[in-house]
Structure 1
Amino acid sequence: MKLKTKIQLFSSLFMLLFIMLVNTSIYFLFYKISVDNELELLSDQTRTIMETMKENPDIPKTELLRAYLPNNGLIRIIDEKDRELIPIITKQKEFRELPSAYSTREVKEIVRDETGSPIAVIRKPIIWENGEIVTLQVANYLFPLEETMRTLLYVLVAASIIMLIPTIIAGNFLSKFILRPIKELISTMKDNTKSENWKTIEIENKSKDELYEMEKTFNEMIAHLKENFERQEVFVSDASHELKTPISIIKSYAELLKRRGKSHPEVFEESIDAIDTEADRMQQLVNQLLDLAKNKQSAPSTELDLVKLTKNVIHTFQAAYERDIYFKSEVDTILIKGNEDQLEQIIYILLSNAIKYSEKEINIVLTEQKDTVKLRVVDKGLGIRTNDQKRIFDRFYRVDQARTRTSGGIGLGLAIAKAISEAHNGSLTVNSEEGKGTTFTLELPIMKKS
């Protein structure tokens, strides 16, 4: 069942039930008020009969009672043995079938005959001529009330039908109003699925309701998907390009080995070294791609000392490269919360870049500023051009293609460092001047100061 049909069906059924409830209440309330009025009128008439009989004892009872006989009813007087003390007074013979009942108290009730017609009945005790307490019964068939209730029923049914018509029309307009943006959304999604043109929905000059929020959220989702898709295309293209070069070199040297390797030892040695070097590059590229994917996932965090962590990394690099690396910190301990392996990897990447592109000393400085700590890695190398600084954290981007290929750079290190810093609610920025050096700044939130 379509949503439009559901909306129309639900609104119509709800309105129908509401109208039926209201009309039923009106019908029975009117019936009760009318019946109470009929009973009250008949009770007053019975009281008048009793007073008239008391004031005029000389008038024959039959003649007096006939003067007060209801048009569609009867009057009878019975004793406690249900015997009629005077003949029943009525204009219709069929009314005589109405059962009688002796009562020593006033009774007001509505009874129904065999055909279901309502009859108002009043029974009141009176003192008869011999001093015996008897019952005066006055009954009246409510034929006019039946006709009135039948007419009221027809009117209520007709009114219900008349009220349902605008409800159905309103439900139709409501369904169109609600479904228009949904249909537009479905159409746009189908277009995006078929053509991948990243089409969005026009939301200008629209009321800012829930449908507007849905369309706005859809547009934001499309923009996010488009950005991620374009990044994925660039990533796959760059990764393919980076893998294509070492594969081509390995294949070329393999063919050279096949042709001349057996008879020329120098060619054999050169080919083996080149193949080994390019295989290392491919392994490094694959490992860094895996690191980049892994660092996007949540990793367990612990409390750690950034000062101690930085000193350990510096000690490792000094032993491996025999370079002058100077460390300065305002305090002895800076506690932060994060993943030790990932944060250590950032420092490794920054120090590795400083060593590759600088021949002079390297300075690492830790400073505290309110609730954050800043780790600066400063080198005095050639520096980075302003235009290159904007893209330095992009995947596979290299400032100097020839020089980085010679030194083994792939262009993923800073992208990995940037991803890790953002995963730890921090930031990684660069400030550089050509010919004077480069400063990378890692800023992280402090967990607790000591």
Structure 2
Amino acid sequence: MKLSTKIRLFSSLFMLVLVLLVNTAIYYLFYNMSLNAEKAELTDQTNEITEALNESPNIAKSDLLKAYLPTDGMVRIIGKDGEFLIPTLTKDQEFTELPFTFSKKQTAGVIELSNQADFLTISKPIIWENGEVATLQVYKQLVAHSESMETLFYVLAVASVIVLIPTIIAGTFLSRFILKPIKSLTGTMKENITDAKWKKINLENRSRDELYEMEETFNVMIEYLKDNFERQETFVSDASHELKTPISIVKSYAQLLKRRGQDNPELLNESVQAVDSEADRMQKLVEQMLLLAKNQENETYSKLDIIQLTRETVDQFKGAYDRELTFEAEAEKIMVNGNHDQLQQVFYILIDNALKYSDEAVNVYVLRRQSEVQVKVQDYGQGIPQEEAEKIFDRFYRMDKSRSRDLGGTGLGLAIAKAIMEKHKGQLTVSSESGNGSIFSITLSTID
């Protein structure tokens, strides 16, 4: 069952039940009020008959009772043995078949008939001529009452229909109002699936209700998916491109070895070195791509001394490179919350880049800035043009691709460092001028 049908059905059934309850209450309230009015009127009439019998003992009872005979009714005097003390007084002989009873107390009741209007009866004890207690029973057919109730029934039925028709119409408009944005959302989803588009929903001239929030969330999700999909495509494309070159080189040297390598030792050595170099390049590229892919995984964070970690990294580079590498810190210990291996990877990347792209000294500083710590890596190399300063953090981006390839660069190092710093809620920035070297700075919050 469609949602629109459910909305119309629910609203219609709800209104139908509500109307039936209200109309039923109105019907029975009016029924009781009308019946009580008839009962009070017949009770007064019965009391008048009793007073007349008591005040006029010398007048013939039959003649006296005829004067008080209801138009649509009947009068009976019933003895204690159940016999009629006078003939039944009525204008319609069919009424004589109605039941009767002897009673020593005043009672009222309704005799329900299936083929005609009901009868209201009032029974009241009186003292008869012989001094015995008899029952005066007055009957009245509720013709006016029945006609009024029948009229009320039809009026309420028509009113119910009149109320239900607008309810159904309103339910239809309500379902259309609610389902229109849902249908638009569904259609956009299907279009995005079948046509591979990144279509968003138009939110102009829309009331800011829950449906608006749903559509706005959908647009944000589409933008997020589009961005991630494009990043994935770019990543795969760039990775394929980067792997294509070393693979081509390895394949070329393999074919060269196959043709002439056995008879040329120099060519053999050159080919082996080239294959080994390109294999190292591919291994490094794959490792860095895996590191980027694992960037979203949960890592263990702990309290660590950023100065000690930076000094250890600098010492490792001093032992491996015959280069001037200095380290300065403004304090003996500065504690941060982070992952030891990931932060060390950032320092490796920054120092390694500084050594690659600079032939002069590389300086590493650790500075305390109130509730933050800054680690700066300064080199005196070629520098970075201002227009390319933001691009260097993109995956696979290299300013001088030929020189970067000669130096073994993949264009992933700074992207990895940026991702790690974002995960640590820190910052990685660069300050540089073309020809005047560069300063890469990371900023982290300190802890006590």
Instruction: Tell me what 1:179 maps to.
Output: 179
Report if aligned partners of 1:11, 1:167 keep a CA contact under 8 Å in 2: yes
Distance, in Å, in 1 between the alignment partners of 2:267 and 2:43 is 131
Residue 40 of structure 1, CA deviation: 1.7
Residue 115 of structure 1, CA deviation: 4.5
Residue 425 of structure 1, CA deviation: 2.1
1:212 maps to a residue whose letter is Y
Residue 283 of structure 1, CA deviation: 1.0
Aligned runs of 1:168-207 on 2, under 5 Å?
Answer: 168-207=168-207
The 1:273/1:26 distance shift into structure 2, 3 A limit, reads: same
SS of residue paired to 1:383: coil
Instruction: Tell me what 2:394 maps to.
Output: 394
2:311 maps to a residue whose letter is K
1:378 maps to a residue whose letter is Q
Residue 397 of structure 1, CA deviation: 0.5
Instruction: Tell me what 2:119 maps to.
Output: 119
Distance, in Å, in 2 between the alignment partners of 1:64 and 1:376 is 126
Instruction: Tell me what 2:263 maps to.
Output: 263
The 1:246/1:36 distance shift into structure 2, 3 A limit, reads: same
Aligned runs of 1:188-337 on 2, under 5 Å?
Answer: 188-337=188-337
Residue 403 of structure 1, CA deviation: 1.9
The 1:356/1:113 distance shift into structure 2, 3 A limit, reads: same
1:148 maps to a residue whose letter is S
1:69 maps to a residue whose letter is L
Distance, in Å, in 2 between the alignment partners of 1:82 and 1:304 is 112
Query: TM-score scaled by structure 2?
Result: 0.91
Unaligned runs of 5+ in 2: none
Residue 178 of structure 1, CA deviation: 2.7
SS of residue paired to 2:375: strand
Report if aligned partners of 1:306, 1:333 keep a CA contact under 8 Å in 2: yes
2:369 maps to a residue whose letter is E
Residue 322 of structure 1, CA deviation: 4.7
SS of residue paired to 1:364: strand
Higher mean displacement: 162-171 or 291-300: 162-171
RMSD over aligned CA atoms reads 2.4
Higher mean displacement: 12-21 or 382-391: 12-21
Residue 181 of structure 1, CA deviation: 2.6
2:354 maps to a residue whose letter is A
Query: TM-score scaled by structure 1?
Result: 0.91
Distance, in Å, in 1 between the alignment partners of 2:140 and 2:333 is 104
Higher mean displacement: 113-122 or 351-360: 113-122
Deviations 1:374-429 (A, max 9, x none): 33223333221111111011000112212211111101111111112212222222
The 1:362/1:115 distance shift into structure 2, 3 A limit, reads: same
Distance, in Å, in 1 between the alignment partners of 2:442 and 2:51 is 110
The 1:408/1:432 distance shift into structure 2, 3 A limit, reads: same
Report if aligned partners of 1:257, 1:271 keep a CA contact under 8 Å in 2: yes
2:69 maps to a residue whose letter is L
The 1:47/1:403 distance shift into structure 2, 3 A limit, reads: same
Higher mean displacement: 241-250 or 220-229: 220-229
Residue 314 of structure 1, CA deviation: 2.6
2:123 maps to a residue whose letter is R
The 1:442/1:68 distance shift into structure 2, 3 A limit, reads: farther
Instruction: Tell me what 1:35 maps to.
Output: 35
Report if aligned partners of 1:362, 1:380 keep a CA contact under 8 Å in 2: no
Higher mean displacement: 174-183 or 249-258: 174-183
Deviations 1:262-293 (A, max 9, x none): 11111111111111111111111111111001
Unaligned runs of 5+ in 1: none
Instruction: Tell me what 2:60 maps to.
Output: 60
Report if aligned partners of 1:27, 1:153 keep a CA contact under 8 Å in 2: yes
Higher mean displacement: 342-351 or 75-84: 75-84
Distance, in Å, in 2 between the alignment partners of 1:85 and 1:197 is 101
SS of residue paired to 1:392: helix
Instruction: Tell me what 1:366 maps to.
Output: 367
2:404 maps to a residue whose letter is T
Higher mean displacement: 181-190 or 269-278: 181-190
Instruction: Tell me what 2:9 maps to.
Output: 9
Distance, in Å, in 1 between the alignment partners of 2:348 and 2:72 is 110
SS of residue paired to 1:105: coil
1:415 maps to a residue whose letter is A
Distance, in Å, in 2 between the alignment partners of 1:395 and 1:64 is 118
1:95 maps to a residue whose letter is F
The 1:368/1:128 distance shift into structure 2, 3 A limit, reads: farther
Residue 330 of structure 1, CA deviation: 4.0
Report if aligned partners of 1:383, 1:433 keep a CA contact under 8 Å in 2: yes
Higher mean displacement: 425-434 or 276-285: 425-434
Distance, in Å, in 2 between the alignment partners of 1:116 and 1:352 is 109
Distance, in Å, in 2 between the alignment partners of 1:21 and 1:328 is 86
1:363 maps to a residue whose letter is V
Distance, in Å, in 2 between the alignment partners of 1:425 and 1:81 is 106
Report if aligned partners of 1:431, 1:440 keep a CA contact under 8 Å in 2: yes
Higher mean displacement: 42-51 or 372-381: 372-381
SS of residue paired to 1:255: helix
Question: How many residues matched?
Answer: 447
Distance, in Å, in 2 between the alignment partners of 1:96 and 1:78 is 13
Instruction: Tell me what 2:156 maps to.
Output: 156
Residue 52 of structure 1, CA deviation: 2.4
Distance, in Å, in 2 between the alignment partners of 1:188 and 1:410 is 39
The 1:103/1:394 distance shift into structure 2, 3 A limit, reads: same
The 1:257/1:145 distance shift into structure 2, 3 A limit, reads: same
Distance, in Å, in 2 between the alignment partners of 1:190 and 1:13 is 34
SS of residue paired to 2:50: helix
1:271 maps to a residue whose letter is S
Residue 345 of structure 1, CA deviation: 1.8
2:113 maps to a residue whose letter is D
Instruction: Tell me what 1:424 maps to.
Output: 424
1:47 maps to a residue whose letter is N
Aligned runs of 1:98-117 on 2, under 5 Å?
Answer: 98-113=98-113, 115=115, 117=117
SS of residue paired to 2:263: coil
Instruction: Tell me what 1:141 maps to.
Output: 141
Deviations 1:333-374 (A, max 9, x none): 43333333222222222222222223313122132333x333
Report if aligned partners of 1:76, 1:88 keep a CA contact under 8 Å in 2: yes
Distance, in Å, in 2 between the alignment partners of 1:378 and 1:130 is 136
Report if aligned partners of 1:295, 1:342 keep a CA contact under 8 Å in 2: no
